[in-house]
């Protein structure tokens, strides 16, 4: 029985010592970690001394002197964790100071009881026969259980995952102590069997506490164990389990195999040993086992947070543009300090072109790669990083991959990383060999594949942005061309009127003067339109202060060549707006031309100007055909939609609204079928004229309501 006690406490001491050594590793300055390490060291010393004095009766009291210190260390650890619940450091420090002072005083009291027993040679008992020392140890176990209960009750939900194992471990220690000393008080002495088992109990508890330490990030455990040792240990353990299962199977066959039992057992054991040998020498099995161990039992090779921040910083450190391709190569190359790299990217024609390089010469023979080549097919299907050194030594590893002949011209090619976007191969990066290479494992390949996918997303975004920019340029060119064509159509219409009336009025000097002026204005406008079309310049950018009455007067005079002749009604003078004169004249001319086309020759077209709420309101009113609500809602301002059949382009109203909105204004249309249309353009007046303009209609500020419109349209 004494030998069992020695072994029990020796094992417990060794296990606590291992826990102490583990806690000594890793980052320093963690208060929780230091407190647990001290408690573990004191527990190891206490159990080591207890194991030693089992065979030395003269030192029987020494364990009782050290046990209060061991309990104090465990309780101090719990108090330190509980103090973290206080948000203010001063309150936490005050809680620790007061609680630890009481516990230290109580520990001193127990030590004095032990010393009294040593001096007096007997137990100090209460009047009822209660042993004070045993009761003192029992009270300390109860205090420990209370603190454990407070810890699990007050733990936050996010930390309960690690705290629960700590509470299980320490709670088990205090529960066993409670049982040990309550049993001793009942039977007036400590049970030797319970005392000897105490070391084993403490040893069983240490792994549970270790789990809590590993799960708590505040303790930051960092201990290194060789991957090779773990691999061979796992292999031997697996082989041992296999042999045990094989032995059990052989035993069953021998016992229940009848007359063939022995022969079947021999055959079974031989086959099982042969299978074990095959498995142990299987390279694929060893590789799978090594990957499993590396993934699930060791810290990662890379500090992924730092790698990811560095990678994103490299990609986004400058403005997006063509240099993004070079930055992408650099971001991938920096993972292994590669001195350079090349980038191939998918282009039209079902091929991959060499589009960028970073600190690595571009070989002339490697300009493009067919989409049907072995290399692109392998990268697209496998999405696996190709190690060029490994390919040269053992090409069969890559399942029939054949690198193009010109690949040999690339100096120091080391890795080929696929760039996959939406499960489609967007391109590939060839990295140059770094000064110091190392053997790549599964973690290197996984990191390169993920980095490749992120890089492909950025490159795809760059291509999309460039394509969108080109599309916008084409759109602007098409838009400008449409406006120019529309303006030319109106100018041609004016010249057609001159030509049609020339034969009848060619002897009229006034007509000839107007005709020459009309032709001159048309030629000047067409020259300006051609200039804008060649340069791609937006004419709306040539803004200046415009007198609206003067602009409208020019428009009305120009459009007077058609029928019905428009009438000018300038109700407010001195209204100025900021805009381009030519564009504004063309836009208003479009509206007037549409009104003339929709109105019979004996009808009415009025061009009106008035002021309303710091806005200049230009109205073009006619009593022509009008439009229905459906067309005004769905087709009026829709490009290339017209009511004129093949003679119209359907962009006049759209261009008008687009131009007026560009000036900060808005367009309104009031129309009734067979009654007419009022096209109203509201444009903000300039700041210089806001307070100086006087409206000619003081009664309603120049506003034309629907009733007045009807009356005018019927006249």
Is 250 found in the same domain as 178? no
Say how far apart CA 230 and CA 234 lie, in whole Å.
6
Is 165 found in the same domain as 251? no
Q: Which residue has the tokens 């975004």?
A: 461
Is 253 found in the same domain as 160? no
CA 293 to chain centroid? 29
Say how far apart CA 413 and CA 110 lie, in whole Å.
74
Q: What one-character-per-residue DSSP string does 499-552 give?
A: HHHHHHHTT-HHHHHHHHHHHHHHHHHHHHHHHHHHHT--GGG--EEEEHHHHH
Say how far apart CA 457 and CA 465 lie, in whole Å.
12
Residue ranges in the chain modelled with pLDDT below 70? 1-2, 26-30, 55-60, 85, 87, 121-130, 155-162, 214-240, 242-244, 246-303, 319-322, 366-367, 473-487, 489-490, 494, 529, 532-542, 639-651, 689-715
Backbone angle region of 374, left / alpha / beta, with phi > 0 → left and psi within -120 to 50 → alpha: alpha
Domain boundary at 168, 191, 215, which? 215
Nearest alpha-carbon partner for 376 in 404, 337, 414, 339:
404
Domain boundary at 237, 264, 297, which? 297
Residue 275's domain comprises 227-297
Q: Is the peptide bond before 46 cis (omega within 30 degrees of 0)?
A: no
pLDDT score, position 431: 94
How many structural domains compose the chain?
3
Residue 176 within any structural domain of the chain: yes
- The answer to whether 54 touches 9, Cβ cutoff 8 Å, is yes
Say how far apart CA 462 and CA 318 lie, in whole Å.
13
Say how far apart CA 615 and CA 684 lie, in whole Å.
4
Nearest alpha-carbon partner for 212 in 9, 23, 11:
23
Environment class of residue 200 by beta-carbon count within 10 Å: exposed (0-12), middle (13-18) or buried (19+)?
middle
Q: What one-character-per-residue DSSP string does 454-479 give?
A: HHHHHHHHHHHHHHHHHHHHHHHHHH
pLDDT score, position 331: 92
Residue 309 within any structural domain of the chain: no
Residue 429 within any structural domain of the chain: no
* Angle value at C-alpha 393, between 381 and 229, nearest 5 degrees: 90
Is 104 found in the same domain as 52? yes
Looking at the chain, the number of H-run helices and the number of E-run strands are 21, 13
User: Between β-strands 424-432 and 386-387, what pairing exists: parallel, antiparallel or unpaired?
Assistant: unpaired
Say how far apart CA 222 and CA 220 lie, in whole Å.
6
Residue 351 within any structural domain of the chain: no
pLDDT score, position 242: 64
Say how far apart CA 587 and CA 30 lie, in whole Å.
76
Domain boundary at 215, 247, 265, which? 215
Nearest alpha-carbon partner for 360 in 378, 384, 344, 383:
344
Q: Is the peptide bond before 687 cis (omega within 30 degrees of 0)?
A: no
CATH (domain of 543):
3.30.565.10
Residue 394 within any structural domain of the chain: no
Is 206 found in the same domain as 239? no
User: pLDDT (tens digit, 9 = 90+) per residue, 324-370?
Assistant: 899 999 999 998 889 999 999 998 778 898 999 999 988 877 667 88
Helix, strand or coil, per DSSP, at residue 196: helix
Cβ neighbours around 385 below 10 Å, total: 21
Helix, strand or coil, per DSSP, at residue 122: coil
Is 108 found in the same domain as 185? yes
**H/E run at residue 430:** strand 424-432
Is 580 found in the same domain as 647? yes
pLDDT score, position 654: 78
Say how far apart CA 627 and CA 653 lie, in whole Å.
13
User: pLDDT (tens digit, 9 = 90+) per residue, 656-668?
Assistant: 888 888 888 999 9
Is 70 found in the same domain as 18? yes
Is 49 found in the same domain as 100? yes
Residue 238 within any structural domain of the chain: yes
- Give the CA-trace dihedral at 210, 212, 216, 222, to 10 degrees: 10
Residues in contact with 29: Cβ distance below 8 Å, sequence separation at least 6, in sequence order: none
Is 288 found in the same domain as 191? no
Return the DSSP state at 565: P
Is 171 found in the same domain as 30? yes
Residue 194 within any structural domain of the chain: yes
Question: CA of 489: how far to CAs of 483, 525, 547, in Å?
Answer: 10, 12, 26
Residue 406 within any structural domain of the chain: no
Q: How many residues are given for the chain?
A: 715
Is 706 found in the same domain as 558? yes
């Amino acid at each position: 029985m004494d030998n069992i006690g020695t072994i029990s406490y020796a094992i417990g001491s060794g296990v606590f010592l291992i826990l102490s050594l583990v806690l000594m590793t890793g980052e320093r300055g963690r208060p929780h970690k230091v407190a647990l390490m001290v408690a573990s060291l004191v527990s190891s010393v206490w159990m080591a001394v207890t194991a030693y004095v089992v065979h030395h009766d003269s030192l029987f009291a020494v364990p009782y002197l050290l046990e209060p210190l061991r309990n104090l260390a465990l309780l101090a650890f719990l108090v330190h964790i509980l103090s973290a619940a206080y948000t203010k450091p001063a309150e936490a420090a005050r809680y620790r100071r007061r609680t630890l002072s009481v516990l230290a005083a109580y520990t001193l009291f127990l030590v004095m009881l032990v010393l009294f027993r040593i001096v007096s040679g007997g137990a100090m008992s209460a009047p009822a026969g209660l042993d004070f020392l045993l009761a003192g140890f029992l009270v300390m176990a109860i205090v420990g259980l209370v603190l454990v209960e407070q810890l699990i009750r007050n733990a936050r939900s996010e930390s309960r995952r690690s705290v629960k194992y700590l509470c299980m471990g320490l709670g088990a220690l205090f529960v066993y102590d409670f049982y040990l000393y309550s049993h001793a008080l009942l039977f007036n002495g400590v049970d030797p069997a319970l005392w000897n088992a105490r070391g084993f109990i403490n040893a069983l508890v240490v792994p549970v506490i270790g789990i809590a330490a590993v799960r708590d990030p505040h303790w930051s455990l960092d201990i290194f164990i060789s991957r090779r040792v773990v691999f061979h240990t796992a292999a031997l353990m697996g082989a041992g389990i296999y042999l045990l299962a094989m032995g059990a199977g052989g035993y069953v066959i021998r016992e229940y195999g009848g007359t063939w039992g022995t022969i079947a057992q021999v055959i079974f054991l031989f086959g099982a040993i042969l299978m074990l040998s095959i498995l142990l020498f299987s390279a694929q099995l060893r590789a799978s086992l090594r990957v499993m161990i590396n993934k699930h039992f060791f810290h990662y090779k890379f500090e992924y947070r730092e790698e990811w921040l560095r990678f994103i910083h490299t990609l986004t450190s400058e403005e997006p543009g063509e240099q993004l391709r070079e930055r992408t190569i650099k971001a991938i190359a920096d993972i292994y300090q590669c001195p350079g790299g090349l980038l191939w990217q998918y282009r039209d024609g079902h091929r991959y072109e060499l589009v960028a390089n970073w600190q690595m010469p571009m070989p002339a023979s490697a300009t493009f790669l067919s989409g049907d080549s072995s290399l692109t097919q392998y990268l697209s299907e496998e999405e696996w990083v190709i190690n060029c050194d490994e390919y040269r030594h053992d090409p069969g590893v890559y399942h029939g991959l054949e690198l193009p002949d010109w690949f040999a011209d690339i100096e120091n090619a080391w890795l080929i990383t696929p760039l996959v976007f939406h499960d489609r191969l967007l391109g590939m990066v060839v990295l140059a060999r770094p000064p110091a290479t190392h053997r790549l494992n599964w973690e290197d390949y996984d990191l390169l594949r993920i980095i490749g996918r992120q890089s492909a997303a950025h490159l795809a975004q760059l291509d999309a942005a460039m394509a969108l920019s080109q599309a916008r340029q084409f759109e602007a060119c098409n838009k400008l061309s449409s406006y120019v064509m529309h303006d030319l159509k109106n100018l041609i219409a004016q010249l057609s009127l001159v030509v049609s009336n020339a034969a009848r009025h060619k002897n009229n000097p006034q007509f000839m003067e107007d005709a020459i002026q009309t032709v001159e204005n048309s030629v000047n406008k067409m020259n300006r339109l051609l200039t804008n079309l060649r340069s791609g310049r937006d004419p709306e950018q040539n803004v200046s202060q415009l007198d609206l009455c003067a602009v409208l007067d020019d428009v009305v005079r120009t459009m007077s060549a058609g029928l019905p002749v428009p009438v000018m009604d300038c109700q407010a003078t001195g209204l100025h707006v900021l805009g381009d004169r030519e564009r504004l004249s063309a836009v208003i001319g479009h509206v007037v031309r549409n009104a003339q086309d929709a109105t019979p020759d004996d009808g009415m077209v009025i061009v009106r100007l008035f002021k309303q709420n710091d806005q200049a309101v230009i109205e073009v009113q006619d009593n022509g055909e009008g439009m229905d609500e459906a067309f005004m809602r769905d087709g009026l301002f829709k490009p290339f939609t017209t009511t004129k059949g093949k003679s119209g382009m359907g962009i006049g109203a759209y261009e008008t609204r687009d131009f007026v909105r560009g000036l900060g204004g808005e367009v309104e249309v009031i129309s009734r079928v067979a009654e007419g249309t009022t096209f109203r353009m509201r444009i903000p007046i300039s700041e210089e004229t806001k307070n100086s303009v006087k409206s000619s209609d003081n009664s309603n500020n120049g506003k034309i309501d629907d009733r007045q419109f009807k009356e005018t349209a019927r006249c």
